[in-house]
Amino acid sequence: MLRRRGKGATLCNVKERPEVTPEPEADAKTPVRPSRIAALSGFGRPIALKFADELIQVVQSLEAGLPPETSHGQGAEPPRAARVADLRPDRAVARPGSIRWLRGAPDRDNSWFRVPRAWAGEKSEDGPDSFPEVTAQEPHGCPSVPAVPKCPSPVGFPSAETGDAMDLLEELQAGHRTAVQSVEAALRRASSDPFLAVIELHKGEALDRAEALDKRLSTGDEPLPLHGLPVAIKANLCVEDRLATSASASLANYAAPYTATVVRRLIAAGAVPIATANMDEFAMGSSGEHSVHGPTINPWSPIHDGELIPLAPGGSSSGTAAAVAADIVPLALGSDAGGSVRQPAALCGVTGLRPTQGRLSRFGLIAFASSFDVIGPVARSARDLAALFPLVAGIDPRDPTSTDPHHEAKRFPLRTHLDGLVIGVPKRLLDELGDSLELEVAASFAQSVEELRAAGARIVDIELRHAGAALSAYHVISCSEAASNLARIDGVRYGMRIDRRGSADNDLIAMIRATREAGFGTEVQRRILIGTLALSRDGSRALYGRARATRAEVTLDFERVFGGNDLIGAALSVDLIAMPTSPTVAFGLGARTADPVEMYRADLLTVPASLAGLPAISLPGPLAKTSCAGRSAALPVGFQLIGSRGSDEYLLRIATLYQQLTQHHLARPPRIHPVPPSGDLHGISRGAEQ
């Protein structure tokens, strides 16, 4: 196809495809050429210079973390494949799933997605010129990011609910409280959220939905299973007309044109999304600090002498976990790639589930690392999650990687007690962590294990041989996929665009580079570069293959453990695996931002389950007595239970039994006081959107 060169320097004028750009041939001794990696990543020279040394270091450390290359296998074949008979029928237009936007025609009817008006146009005799240029969007700058987090005071933060979601649902379904009351109360709490757990309120729709639900109840219909339950939704889940920023400047103005499948199912079950939850940008981070909206603060942050010592809530589902911990909502949706639900749940003292890969549709989840990403719910108790799970799980034709809930889950018996349950603990893996595993965490975990033992569970020692290499493998694969997934953020169709109209070097490539340099935060840029490097021809091709091989080994390790082999001193198969969720308790805000490799270690214990796609739940264990700024403080510790593929319901059942025997999940941040549910909305009026 011929591409003509435009004369005027306009924004998206495509120069003829880049002419010969001489670049030295790859030298075997210096395989990494940062400028080329940056260019392939859609970045310019400044980024290449900024990350040049670090990139080589990080890649070296990742390489050192992987076992030596044995065979150049690509890892195990994925467990499933698509059969022709199961593919999406070739049926154009027949279902609401495609759109016909014609000027003047009603564009909302039967459509689940609206074409941006600026895109569609009439075709005229003089050809395509009459349709609007895609480049005609108003460019806008990068929203200002608060440089220093402003520490709010959580003292006297109002809270209405003291129980969990099931307690609230009982009240709602019995009619003791209306959906509108419940949603109003949640909105009120969210509007005075001092932790920056939520970034946008869904006021109008939330109240409309609540009213409709109340009306339904008043006409004598059966209440929906989650009737009037206020929920928060992580900012990387699409809700139509609501911001889906993924906490990135690049999508700061991006309102989703459709609703994610899981959110739709949640709404259909009667839940009411009331707010968008903060997160780490594009789910990359373990502290909640990498957000364009500002960092979320852990509700457990201690206050000494009237001064708040801000702690990180963990990440990337920072707002999700904090919103539940701060009693803003009893239930919230997050997403988990390497531990993004479990780690913040552990650090915030709430219960978070990473479901089996594929059980929850990913359609509408803004992808970070597609082969790891799962949507994960967070609540105050495992029984809440158990109630929620069947309502949102199941095959979605829009996500071909979603799996049937029944095939795999059948073989797990319903348990009513923990007696005789076999729980494996990877002792050697924990021992090898050494100092990385904080003593308080180890102590709390040991106590949880004792509680399980006391309840009749058999604790056996297991070995996960390749779990030590899991972190490096996870980072190589997730960064590769992230670099690929985020290539679509180019300023052409949506989101931020930086263009220098009128400047001499303004061409397409310059626009894409400038947009991506300004739109992505440092951590996202770093991981895109790592991922590009891992996939590029520049000497590192082996990195990705080795990571895939390690992933297959880790998966096999788990299979052996669940299948009854490789147990040390015991010849039975393990029902579940227990280990701490995070090697540390909540750390100070900003304490780890300087050292990305140290930050990555937060995922040390969560990534093995991620690599194998297994379900895992993080439960609050006994609080850790720790010292914070010279004073003692009690901080939450989480431990995770990992089940075999498809055992989500079973896992939730065991977790519920554990929580029935213990009280750890009832612990609340010290300064969150219950207040009566009455009172007005503190000046929030319907319709006035935040």
Partner 1 sequence: MSGLWKTRIGLEVHVRLASRSKLFCACPNLFETNPNVHICPVCTGQPGSLPALGRGAVELALRAAVLFDFDVAMLSRFDRKHYFYPDLPKGYQVTQQEVPLGRDGQLEIEVDGRRVRIPLSRIHIEEDAGRSVHSEEHTRIDFNRAGAPLVEIVTDPVMETAQEVGAFLRRLREELRYAGVSDGDMDKGSMRTDVNISVYDSSRLGRAEVDAEGPRVEIKNLNSIRAAQDAVDFEVARQIQEAQETIRRGAQLHSITVQTRRWVASSEGLPGHSKLMRTKASQLDYRFLEDPDLLPLALLATDLDAARAMLPEGPLAMRDRWRCEYDLSAHDAEVLSSSPQLAAYFEATARALQAPVRGESPPARQSYKAAANWIINDLASLSSGFDKVAPFQVAALVRLVESAYISHKSGRLLLSALVARHVDQPGHDGDLLEMAQALDLELVNDSALLDEYCYAAMARREDAIQSWQAGRLQAADALLGEAMMLSRGKAAPDKLRARLLALLEVHDT
Helix (H, G, I), strand (E, B) or coil at 281: helix
Residues numbered 329-368 forming contacts with partner 1, rule: CB under 8 A? 362-367
In whole angstroms, the minimum distance from the beta carbon of 4 to partner 1 comes to 5
Site for partner 1 (CB under 8 A): which residue of 179, 201, 247, 251?
A: 251
Is residue 76 within the footprint of partner 1 (CB under 8 A)? no
Q: How far is the CB of 265 from partner 1 (least distance, A)?
A: 15
Please report whether residue 137 would count as binding partner 1 according to CB under 8 A: no
Which DSSP string do the residues of 390-434 spell out, in sequence order?
A: HHH-S-BTTBTT---HHHHHTTSPPPS--TT-EEEE-HHHHHHHG
CB of 489 to partner 1, least distance (A): 8
Closest alpha carbon to 561 in 429, 376, 389, 415: 429
- With binding defined as CB under 8 A, does residue 23 bind partner 1? yes
**Given candidates 28, 29, 71, 83, which one binds partner 1 under the rule CB under 8 A?**
83
φ and ψ of 140, to 5 deg: -140, 155
Question: What does residue 579 show for φ and ψ, rounded to 5 degrees?
Answer: -160, 160
Strand (E) positions, 592-685? 616-620, 624-628, 631-635, 638-642, 672-674
CB of 626 to partner 1, least distance (A): 38
CA–CA–CA angle 519, 523, 528 (5° rounding): 75
> Taking contact as CB under 8 A, which single stretch among the options 133-141, 165-173, 606-614, 651-659 is the one that binds partner 1?
133-141
Return the residue of 27, 69, 133, 221 that touches partner 1, per CB under 8 A.
133
Stretch that binds partner 1, among 125-133, 346-354, 604-612, 637-645 (CB under 8 A): 125-133
Is the Cβ–Cβ distance between 103 and 122 less than 8 Å?
yes
Residue bearing tokens 């395989």: 31
- What's the CA dihedral at 405, 407, 412, 416 to 10 degrees? 40
CA distance 260 to 480: 24
Q: How far is the CB of 650 from partner 1 (least distance, A)?
A: 25
407 binds partner 1 (CB under 8 A): no
Cα(480)–Cα(510) distance, rounded to whole angstroms?
23
Residue 92's SS3 state is coil
> Helix, strand or coil for residue 564?
coil
238-246, 267-275, 308-316, 442-450 -> range binding partner 1 (CB under 8 A): 238-246
**Other Cβ atoms within 10 Å of 667 Cβ, number:** 16
**Which tokens sit at 83?**
């059969």
Alpha-carbon distance of 587 to 216, in angstroms, equals: 46
Nearer to partner 1, 90 or 125 (CB): 90
Angstrom distance (rounded) from CA 94 to CA 105: 18
Tell me the window of 119-127, 193-201, 438-446, 517-525 that interacts with partner 1 (CB under 8 A): 119-127
Q: Does 522 sit near partner 1 (CB under 8 A)?
A: no
Pairing, β 303-304 against β 307-308: antiparallel
522-535 helix and 541-563 helix, angle to the nearest 10 degrees? 100
Touching partner 1, residues 256-275 (CB under 8 A): 256-258, 260
Q: How far is the CB of 431 from partner 1 (least distance, A)?
A: 34
Q: Is 253 in the site for partner 1 (CB under 8 A)?
A: no
Is residue 125 part of the contact set for partner 1 (CB under 8 A)? Answer: no
Select the residue interacting with partner 1 from 30, 74, 218, 627 (CB under 8 A): 74
Q: Between residues 49 and 82, which has the closer beta carbon with respect to partner 1?
A: 82
126 binds partner 1 (CB under 8 A): no
Q: Is 131 in the site for partner 1 (CB under 8 A)?
A: yes
Close Cβ partners of 42 (under 8 Å, ≥ 6 residues apart): 487, 490, 512, 513, 516, 528
Output the CA angle 100-105-107, nearest 5 degrees. 60
How many residues form the binding site for partner 1 (CB under 8 A)?
111
The rounded distance, in Å, linking the Cα atoms of 346 and 352 is 8
Only segment of 17-25, 216-224, 426-434, 554-562 that touches partner 1 (CB under 8 A): 17-25
Give the C-alpha separation, 177 to 182, whole Å.
Answer: 7
**In this chain, which stretch among 201-209, 249-257, 379-387, 461-469 interacts with partner 1, using CB under 8 A?**
249-257
Q: Which window, 438-446, 488-496, 643-651, 658-666, contacts partner 1 (CB under 8 A)? A: 488-496
Q: Which residue has the tokens 């979603």?
A: 402
Minimal distance, residue 107 CB to partner 1, in Å = 11
Q: Which of residues 85-114 bind partner 1 (CB under 8 A)?
A: 85, 87-95, 97-102, 113
- What is the distance between the alpha carbons of residues 176 and 352, in angstroms, rounded to a whole number? 28
Question: Which of 246, 286, 606, 647 contacts partner 1 by CB under 8 A?
Answer: 246
Nearest 5°: the CA angle 521, 522, 527 is: 105
Is 73 one of the binding residues for partner 1 (CB under 8 A)?
A: no
Instruction: Give the nearer residue to partner 1 in terms of CB position, either 375 or 624.
Output: 375
- Please report how close the Cβ of residue 496 comes to partner 1 at its closest, in angstroms: 13
Specify the residue, 92 or 571, whose C-beta has the smaller distance to partner 1: 92
> Binding of partner 1 at residue 447 (CB under 8 A)?
no
Cβ count within 10 A of residue 435: 7
Q: Which region, judged by CB under 8 A, interacts with partner 1, from 6-14, 141-149, 181-189, 591-599?
A: 6-14
Residue 488 is a binding residue for partner 1 (CB under 8 A): yes
Shortest distance, position 256 Cβ to partner 1, whole Å: 7
Residue 85 DSSP label:
G
Smallest separation (angstroms) from partner 1 to the CB of 492: 5
Query: Which residues, including other chains, have CB under 8 Å from residue 356's CB and lie 6 or more apart?
Result: 374, 403, 408, 613, 614, 615, 645, 646, 647, 648
The verdict on 84 binding partner 1 (CB under 8 A) reads yes
Active-site positions read: 234, 316, 340
User: What is the rounded CA–CA span in Å between residue 418 and residue 450?
Assistant: 13
Site string for partner 1, 26-55 (x = CB under 8 A): ----------x---x-x-------------
Q: Is 244 in the site for partner 1 (CB under 8 A)?
A: yes
Among 45, 46, 57, 80, binds partner 1 (CB under 8 A): 80
Separation between Cα atoms, residue 113 and residue 100, nearest integer Å: 10
Residue ranges in 467-486 that form contacts with partner 1 under rule CB under 8 A: 480-481, 483-484, 486
State which of residues 70, 104, 109, 122 lies at the interface with partner 1 (CB under 8 A). 122
Scan for tokens 């593929």, then name that residue.
645
